[in-house]
Amino acid sequence: MKKYIASLQFVVNTYFAKIFNTRSKDVINDCQFYFNCDSVSDCVTKKTNKFLCKYAQVENVLCVTICSL
């Protein structure tokens, strides 16, 4: 999973580098920060937590059985 996250982050960084015509990682990180663009790993973590919270609240018998394993 880390390999896929790193690949996606590379794509995001590359687009920011092309948009702002820079190769400086500091400038790219600042642009992502000021444009409120979360890192890919942060997005995946947020989505995973959101899914797990919703999944824990489901009262489906199959989901409850799988969750208890």
d(CA 67, CA 65): 5
Give yes or no for residue 67 having a pLDDT over 80.
Answer: no
pLDDT tens figures, 6-50? 999 999 999 999 999 999 999 999 999 999 999 999 999 999 999
d(CA 29, CA 16): 9
d(CA 66, CA 63): 5
Give yes or no for residue 1 having a pLDDT over 70.
Answer: yes
- Provide the pLDDT confidence category of residue 57 given band limits of 50, 70 and 90: confident
The pLDDT score that the predictor gives to residue 69 is 65
d(CA 61, CA 64): 5
Higher-confidence position of 63 and 36: 36
Domain definitions of the chain by residue range: 2-68
